[in-house]
Structure 1
Amino acid sequence: MKGCVLLAFLALCSAKPFSRPSYKTLKDMMLKDMEDTDDSDTDNSLFPTKEPINPFFPFDLFPMCPFGCQCYSRVVHCSDLGLPSIPNNIPLDTRMIDLQNNKIKEIKENDFKGLTSLYAVILNNNKLTKIHPKAFLTTKKLRRLYLSHNQLSEIPLNLPKSLAELRIHDNKVKKIHKETFKGMNALHVLEMSANPLDNNGIEPGAFEGLTVFHIRIAEAKLTTVPKDLPSTLLELHLDYNKISTVELEDFKRYKDLQRLGLGNNRITEIENGSFANIPRVREIHLENNKLKKVPSGLQELKYLQIIFLHSNSISKVGVNDFCPTAPKLKKSLYSAISLSNNPIKYWEVQPATFRCVLSRMSVQLGNFRK
């Protein structure tokens, strides 16, 4: 008995000071969870404030951790190891597991079995082609799932209803079925860029009942603005598609929209009154399109602060294209109006045209080359 006590004392004396790794960057990326804070019996945060303390040993002399991985504070790091599959022996109390930059081709039914506290799974940059429909059956607290840069042909079925963020950028998804997001009422961020998805690939009712705030479907094959996305959207990014026109009905559902990305499309016309349906918008990207004039209705947007129109075919700017005739109608001054790389004779633009900007540095003109 004395020998055991002596060994424990020597281990404590020789141990180096413990320094907790910094999670500032990861925490900054996380959205604030919409979880029940009244549940005092369970701690569902990714970075718990209460740690179980062993009265005899303040650390685990023999922690369980998959071979080659690093485990601490309920976070398992297994990235960049060339793993062909999900490793075994993942601690059951794991909150986050990082498996990016490996060679995983398939997620099997029991790969995450028993990981009931799992909060985030990072599987970016693998070779995933298949995910078993029951793979996430027991991960009822999963909030973040990152599947970008893989080879998935469809969004996995039966994803946890608790998901708040799903990123499936750069895969081979061509279809969003009506049942894909059914019941996922907590989903707030959806990233689906760089998939061969066109307008016909989004089935009617696919987003019914969802409260998504951020959607990005850039670098896809969309020819029009999707009209059946969640009405709760605050940010919609459709850059690098094949959209040629913006119609009056395109934004009718998205009255709370604050950021709109339509850059690098083929837009030649924006129907009058289109922007009247998004009165709260603060930022609009229309750069690298084929517009021949400044879109109408900008002067009526009280909160608009940033408008990018560079690299179009705009040849003339009117004195009331950006600012209302009555100064009090504009609540937010422009911090950026970009008109560079357009065939505008900037010496013909009247100074009063930009009377509602913060400063002259907020306006970019010139730099047009034939």
Structure 2
Amino acid sequence: MLLVILLFSMAGGDWGSHPGVWGYKQIQDRQEPVVALCPSPCQCEEDGIFMTVDCSEMGLPSVPLNLSPLTTYLDLSMNNISEIQPRAFHRLHLLSELRISGNQLKYISGQALQGLHNLKVLMLQNNQLERLPDDAPWDLPNLLSLRLDANLLSEVPAEAFRGVRSLRHLWLDDNSLTEIPVMALDSLPSLQAMTLALNQITHIPDYAFTNLSALVVLHLHNNHIQSMSSRCFEGLQSLETLDLNYNDLQEFPVAIRTLSKLQELGFHNNNIKAIPERAFVGNPQLQTIHFYENPIQFVGKSAFQFLPKLHTLSLNGATQIQEFPDLKGTTSLEILTLTRAGLSALPPGLCEQLPRLRLLELSNNQIEDLPSFYRCSALQEIGLQHNQIRRIESSTFKQLTSLRALDLSWNMIE
């Protein structure tokens, strides 16, 4: 009985229009019109009483009519759809995934997506969207994933996400945004992952993400970010991954000190010249730091100390670094790359500080003498090519039973 009631509500009164459902034969006998289950030229598959509909790459100019109210998946991607009429999907109360990527849409009104209260995934990437609805935003209370990447959005209205408060994953990359949509993001307390990469953002203001306490992943790479306010990451209590690579940061982003759960940090290919003392004092969970391709001239002695979970540190291209960083208390480090710098020597206690080191890449420096790697028993690869090493002592690589690769080419060994 419950199934019959459910079907009645889904079909808006056209109950019994599906073979096997009570009343189907009576409707046929009366010769009343039957709802088309698979609109031409789409391809459909039945999943029990439900339907998945694939209309992708069909050259369609508009949304097909007569879609079954039992449709749970609809793919309209890679067509020629330039407009979605109001209530185009209003009968598809069971639809959970809608793909409209790769079309010619410039705007989608709130009325166009009316009735999709069960929708969980909405893909709108690779269109020509120039704006999002503000006064009548999309009402999609169960939406979890929204792709708006590769469009032409230059701003996000303050009320744009008011109707998608359950959202967990948001793609806004590859648009024309010039600032963080602070007001719009305030409506997304459940957001877990977001990318704003490949935009034209130049600054991150204080409290830009203050209501995103559940956010775990934030991508901001490939923007034009030059500055960040000291409290810009306030509220990001759950953030584990932060990608600031390929920007134009002039100073070390001290704002990261508020990110107590941060595990992976990338800000390579910026214009940062100094890493201050105790740079990561608020990030005890850090596991990976990618900091290469910055014109580093100064590294504070305590910059990388006491990071007990750090296992990867990359500082390639820091041409002005002449002293090996002090890694006291950073005992879990496994991968250390510091190439194309100005190092002339390695500390004698290197292996005591880094007993788990597996890969040590120090090519293209000015190293002349080597310490004994006797206590680096886990070392598997050592890269020392293009240095100024003149001699190797008998004890230098003694008892490195795990060593698989050792490159000493382009040195001055006699």
Shorter-chain TM-score tier: 0.7 to 0.9
Whether 2:369 is the aligned partner of 1:345: answer: no
- CA distance in structure 2 between the partners assigned to 1:125 and 1:298 by the alignment: 42
Alignment of 1:234-245 (within 5 A): 234-245=263-274
In structure 1, what is the equivalent of residue 370 of structure 2?
A: none
- CA distance in structure 2 between the partners assigned to 1:127 and 1:184 by the alignment: 25
TM-score (norm 2): 0.68
Deviation at 1:318, TM superposition (A): 4.6
Whether 2:286 is the aligned partner of 1:262: answer: no
Report if aligned partners of 1:218, 1:239 keep a CA contact under 8 Å in 2. yes
- CA distance in structure 1 between the partners assigned to 2:328 and 2:400 by the alignment: 12
- CA distance in structure 2 between the partners assigned to 1:360 and 1:111 by the alignment: 64
SS at match of 2:360: strand
Deviation at 1:151, TM superposition (A): 0.6
- CA distance in structure 2 between the partners assigned to 1:299 and 1:363 by the alignment: 26
Deviation at 1:365, TM superposition (A): 4.8
SS at match of 1:158: helix
* Residue number among 307, 316, 319 corresponding to 1:287 in the alignment: 316
Whether 2:221 is the aligned partner of 1:196: answer: no
SS at match of 1:105: coil
- CA distance in structure 2 between the partners assigned to 1:243 and 1:355 by the alignment: 39
Mark the CA change 1:67 to 1:304 in structure 2 (over 3 Å): closer, same or farther: closer
Alignment of 1:27-66 (within 5 A): 57-59=49-51, 62-63=68-69
Write the deviation string for residues 144-172 of structure 1: whole angstroms up to 9, x where unpaired. 11111111011112311111111101211
Deviation at 1:113, TM superposition (A): 2.1
SS at match of 2:305: helix
Whether 2:326 is the aligned partner of 1:304: answer: no
Quick one: which amino acid aligns to residue 271 of structure 2?
K
- CA distance in structure 1 between the partners assigned to 2:399 and 2:153 by the alignment: 51
Mark the CA change 1:4 to 1:82 in structure 2 (over 3 Å): closer, same or farther: same
In structure 1, what is the equivalent of residue 231 of structure 2?
A: 205
In structure 2, what is the equivalent of residue 92 of structure 1?
A: 117
Deviation at 1:2, TM superposition (A): 3.4
Range moving further from structure 2, 141-150 or 311-320: 311-320
- CA distance in structure 2 between the partners assigned to 1:4 and 1:270 by the alignment: 80
Mark the CA change 1:101 to 1:358 in structure 2 (over 3 Å): closer, same or farther: farther
In structure 1, what is the equivalent of residue 280 of structure 2?
A: 251
Deviation at 1:335, TM superposition (A): 2.4
Question: How many pairs does the alignment contain?
Answer: 322
Quick one: which amino acid aligns to residue 2 of structure 1?
K
Deviation at 1:139, TM superposition (A): 1.0
SS at match of 1:115: coil
Mark the CA change 1:137 to 1:342 in structure 2 (over 3 Å): closer, same or farther: same
Range moving further from structure 2, 66-75 or 78-87: 66-75
Report if aligned partners of 1:338, 1:363 keep a CA contact under 8 Å in 2. no
- CA distance in structure 2 between the partners assigned to 1:165 and 1:311 by the alignment: 34
* Residue number among 144, 147, 153 corresponding to 2:169 in the alignment: 144
In structure 2, what is the equivalent of residue 40 of structure 1?
A: none
Mark the CA change 1:92 to 1:222 in structure 2 (over 3 Å): closer, same or farther: same
Report if aligned partners of 2:74, 2:99 keep a CA contact under 8 Å in 1. no
Quick one: which amino acid aligns to residue 166 of structure 2?
K
Higher relative contact order (CA 8 A, sep 6+): 1
In structure 1, what is the equivalent of residue 193 of structure 2?
A: 165
In structure 2, what is the equivalent of residue 25 of structure 1?
A: none
Whether 2:97 is the aligned partner of 1:78: answer: no
Deviation at 1:261, TM superposition (A): 1.1
Instruction: Name structure 2 gaps, 5 residues minimum.
Output: 1-23, 53-66, 79-91, 367-386
RMSD: 3.5
SS at match of 2:336: strand
In structure 2, what is the equivalent of residue 231 of structure 1?
A: 260
Report if aligned partners of 2:323, 2:344 keep a CA contact under 8 Å in 1. no
Instruction: Name structure 1 gaps, 5 residues minimum.
Output: 21-52
Whether 2:245 is the aligned partner of 1:218: answer: yes
Deviation at 1:273, TM superposition (A): 2.2
- CA distance in structure 2 between the partners assigned to 1:110 and 1:224 by the alignment: 40
In structure 2, what is the equivalent of residue 335 of structure 1?
A: 358
TM-score (norm 1): 0.75
SS at match of 1:2: helix
In structure 2, what is the equivalent of residue 27 of structure 1?
A: none
Report if aligned partners of 2:306, 2:328 keep a CA contact under 8 Å in 1. no
- CA distance in structure 1 between the partners assigned to 2:329 and 2:399 by the alignment: 12
- CA distance in structure 2 between the partners assigned to 1:111 and 1:358 by the alignment: 67
Alignment of 1:127-138 (within 5 A): 127-138=152-163
Report if aligned partners of 2:131, 2:153 keep a CA contact under 8 Å in 1. yes
Mark the CA change 1:318 to 1:277 in structure 2 (over 3 Å): closer, same or farther: closer
Structure exhibiting the larger radius of gyration computed from Cα positions: 2
SS at match of 2:304: helix
Deviation at 1:305, TM superposition (A): 0.4
Mark the CA change 1:269 to 1:359 in structure 2 (over 3 Å): closer, same or farther: farther
Mark the CA change 1:236 to 1:357 in structure 2 (over 3 Å): closer, same or farther: farther
